[in-house]
Structure 1
């Protein structure tokens, strides 16, 4: 799979429209579209991708499948988007409620 195909797959995990990512990156939509269609990326763009998708495996993203025949096998599990602040707080509240419930049972 080519870089641009992997990039497209990665972006879809978090954004419905490419224009949303262009807005997030504060860049011209046509420039982003060119990257998504195979134009060589800049280090600045790659840095933005790393910051926006911190859980993405760069080994997977930057290598062609053909290059991996002698290397460690990549995990085929699809990447999940990170949680936003509200989702993190909700998860913490659920975990705290569960902990309180467990502590109450021990008393």
Structure 2
């Protein structure tokens, strides 16, 4: 007779959460890369300084830190909150980059 063991489910949920984080990281880094390209074009056309790259660099460095913090929340047992935080921060960073680009290129 076998007994139910929740450790297997917990290990699988950690793996799925890590895969989820990697997928979201790829999406956010896709937006960061396209923002880098757009800022490069704006710098060349509008003769801006290199300081225009600051929001992209901050999001490039800051998002993995956010993912690490949400993994700590996940390991505390607050799984739904951790998933929500990852999605919320990803959307905030994407909207922030869009607003940054919209301010640079005034149509």
Return the TM-score normalized by structure 1.
Answer: 0.30
Between structures 1 and 2, the one with greater helix share: 2
Return the TM-score normalized by structure 2.
Answer: 0.30
